[in-house]
Amino acid sequence: MSAEPLLRLDNVSRIYGDEVQVHALDGVSLTIESGEFVSIVGPSGSGKSTMLGLLGLLDLPSLGELWVTGAAVSELTDAERSRLRGDVVGFVFQQFHLIPYLDARRNVETALLYRGLSSSARRRLAMNALERIGLADRADHRPVQLSGGEQQRVAIARAIVTDPALILADEPTGALDSTNAANVMEIFRGLHSPERAVAIVTHDPAVAASAGRRISMRDGKIVADEIVRRGDAGSAFGGTLGDPSATSTSGTLS
Amino acid sequence: MSNIRDLLGVASSGLTAKLTRTLLIMLGPIIGVSAIVAAVGLTESAKGDLQQTLSQLGTNLIKAEAAGSFGTQDPTFPEDVVVRVESLSTVESATAVINIAGVVTSPYSAADSYYTAFPIPVIAADSAFLDVMDVGLVSGRWINSFDVSTAGRAAVIGAGLADEFAYIPGTERTISVGGFKYGVVGVMDRVVLEPTLDNAVVISPQAADRDFDTGLEATTLYVRSDPSQTLVTEAALPVAINLGGNEEVNTSVPTDALESAAAADTTLQAIVALMGGLALVVGGVGIANVMSISVIQRSSEIGIRRALGHGRGLIAGQFMLESVVVGLFGGMAGAGVGSLVVAFVSRSRGWVVVLRPGLLLMGVAAAIGVSVLAGLYPSTKAARLEPLETLRLG
């Protein structure tokens, strides 16, 4: 095991535009170790999505450096970055983003393509992943034949089928009713393990409360980075929602 | 290698997802390749058939016509023209024919005015005629030595005229030639090299001389040459006929006309092949168009695949392969359709089907080439899509 953290942002800025420059991220430094369960919260325009793109290797820093398992991302070619993304990160999106013309199993298998696996090995791994989230019996259903909650579970199976070190979720419960949302969050809690970090970008305080660590953002900067204790879910709820500055008074994690 | 296998799977599932659209864009290469294969295949089948016909007819028949010196009316050859010509070592056989002008020939007196307007050609020919022309009789007999010695009014008619005349073998018939009643003794088969003979009436030179005062000098000569020396013979004929005189002789090789007619057909088929190529190119533009729209429609799929770790090259490969598969299957279907057209038309015309495998392969290769060009733009566009923009995060 390398001593390098899973993810390390070193004074990262992401600047859009040439003449009128927008600092979507402004000098952010952050470390995420494997096995952490992190939530990233903040109002719209705070830089959460930009952060998600960078953590997911879908984007590159304008300034500063992002290190993933010790590799400096801006020094990688596009192909190397794609490979690293496929190996390290599993995505879960708010809108599920399943491929509409493929059934559940083949959607999960999409994450296993171009890895030199035989089709039978791919099928076996995909079925295992679907079993883990309890949808093996829906393997041959296409997305339109599944409920929203089921689609999101298929997306989770697709994210975990490669056994990634980081699950990166973007408002995973945003398009679900409360029952399905609770169900999906339960699965997320189960995914989190000493070898696997989970990072969830969310508006939802209840979702954020599930995480062990909450990173609050505003105007492209991290305004709070705190440990949330399980029992504190209720208080974290009130604190974050009402007054972000109040939370920064509680101890931040260095 | 396993990447290519995976790419094939991805491309085929992308294509089968919208099967109707896939089949529609396949129409371009299908139409283009089938037109090319059909046009070239038919040209080659026709050419093969022509070669067969020519080898049956023999390309060594030379026709010589008396043109006289400047201003001569009704020019003729010397009476001993056949002897003169046969003295050439490259001549195998020869026959002299007298074209009898200004004689109205009619099967029925009621039809005289029609046959005055559209005259039936009347010729006088000798016994060597059938051999030299390599033509047989459908029925009856040729003009025999009795007819010749008595200058009897016996006539052999062409197969075309016999049809028009409703000639029935074994039935006694007469035909009015310039007012004289000639008995029809036989029907001559069609002469491919000299189609005017199909409607002609053939009588003996002696009868022609007596009834129409033609003399025995021939106006036209048909010569069979040594097959390897046709050009030499054709060049030598005027000298042999004239023996130093200043009479003009026009010579021609009838099979040349067939060949040039076939060449004209080839031009037409080249145009069809060209239009097939054009259809292929337009089909390619269609593929590029539809694929570009498909890239926009599937931008979220592209973003997902990028997020799952598929690099730009693999995304480009996926769309390029979709385009190539359309070209490959469209090309193969087109080659099949084109082959069917060639087989069907050739059979209906009694030709031997000539379909080179190289032609079919070339057609498929052309379709693939066009589809590769067509796939360049959409696949590049797909590879350049930014996943962050298509996934709409946050």
CB of B297 less than 8 A from some CB of A: no
In order of start, what are the domains of chain A with their CATH numbers? 34-49+77-245 (3.40.50.300)
More confident residue, A140 or B57: A140
Catalogue the E-assigned strands of chain B: 61-68, 91-100, 105-106, 122-125, 137-140, 154-158, 174-177, 180-188, 201-203, 220-225, 248-252
Report the mean per-residue pLDDT for chain A: 87
- Note the pLDDT of residue B52: 80
Of A56, A114, A116, the CB nearest to B307: A56
Q: Considering only the C-alpha atoms of chain A, give the largest distance between any 2 of them, rounded to a whole number of Å.
A: 54
Are A114 and B13 inside 8 Å of each other by CB? no
pLDDT in tens, B330-339: 999 999 999 9
- Note the pLDDT of residue B334: 96
Of B301, B309, B310, the CB nearest to A87: B309
Could you tell me if B328 and B30 are in contact, meaning their C-beta atoms sit under 8 angstroms apart? Answer: no
Are B310 and A97 inside 8 Å of each other by CB? no
Determine the Cα–Cα distance for residues B215 and B98; give it in Å rounded to an integer: 9
pLDDT at A232 over 50: no
Across the range B126-134, mean pLDDT stands at: 90
What is the pTM for the complete model shown?
Answer: 0.73
Of B17, B308, B312, the CB nearest to A110: B308
CB of A101 less than 8 A from some CB of B: yes
- Note the pLDDT of residue A235: 40
**Domain spans of chain B, in order of start:** 2-55+259-391, 60-252
Of A163-172, B1-10, B218-227, B250-259, the poorest mean pLDDT is in B250-259
Please name every residue paired with B91 in a beta bridge, in sequence order, or none if there are none.
B225
Determine the Cα–Cα distance for residues B384 and B311; give it in Å rounded to an integer: 11
pLDDT at B73 over 50: yes
Of B6, B18, B387, the CB nearest to A114: B6
Compute the count of residue pairs across chains A and B with CB atoms less than 8 Å apart.
88
Are B307 and A82 inside 8 Å of each other by CB? no
pLDDT at A251 over 80: no
CB of B390 less than 8 A from some CB of A: no
Query: Which among A1, A61, A81 has a CA at the least distance from the CA of A35?
Result: A1
Of A85, A102, A170, the CB nearest to B309: A85
- Note the pLDDT of residue A236: 40
CB of A111 less than 8 A from some CB of B: yes
- At residue A222 the predicted structure's pLDDT band, cuts being 50, 70 and 90, is very high
CB-based burial label for A94 (10 Å; 0-12, 13-18, 19+): buried
Determine the Cα–Cα distance for residues A133 and A238; give it in Å rounded to an integer: 31
Are B304 and A99 inside 8 Å of each other by CB? yes
pLDDT at A245 over 50: no
CB of B391 less than 8 A from some CB of A: yes
- Note the pLDDT of residue A228: 86
pLDDT in tens, B265-289: 778 778 888 988 998 999 899 999 9
- Note the pLDDT of residue B29: 94
Query: Which among B32, B35, B22 has a CA at the least distance from the CA of B326?
Result: B22
More confident residue, B261 or B95: B95
Which residues of chain B have a CB within 8 Å of the CB of A114?
2-3, 6-7, 309-310, 314
Enter the ipTM.
0.88
pLDDT in tens, B347-374: 998 888 888 999 999 999 999 999 999 9
- At residue B161 the predicted structure's pLDDT band, cuts being 50, 70 and 90, is confident
pLDDT at B324 over 70: yes
CB of A204 less than 8 A from some CB of B: no
Please name every residue paired with A222 in a beta bridge, in sequence order, or none if there are none.
A217
Query: Which among B341, B325, B386 has a CA at the least distance from the CA of A56?
Result: B386
Which residues of chain A have a CB within 8 Å of the CB of B306?
58, 82
The percent of residues above 70 in pLDDT, for chain B, comes to: 97
Residue of A nearest to B304 (CA): A97
CB of B57 less than 8 A from some CB of A: no
pLDDT at B262 over 90: no
- Note the pLDDT of residue B230: 85
Query: Which among B378, B376, B337, B351 has a CA at the least distance from the CA of B37?
Result: B337
Of B15-24, B65-74, B293-302, the poorest mean pLDDT is in B65-74
Could you tell me how far CA B99 lies from the centroid of its own chain?
30
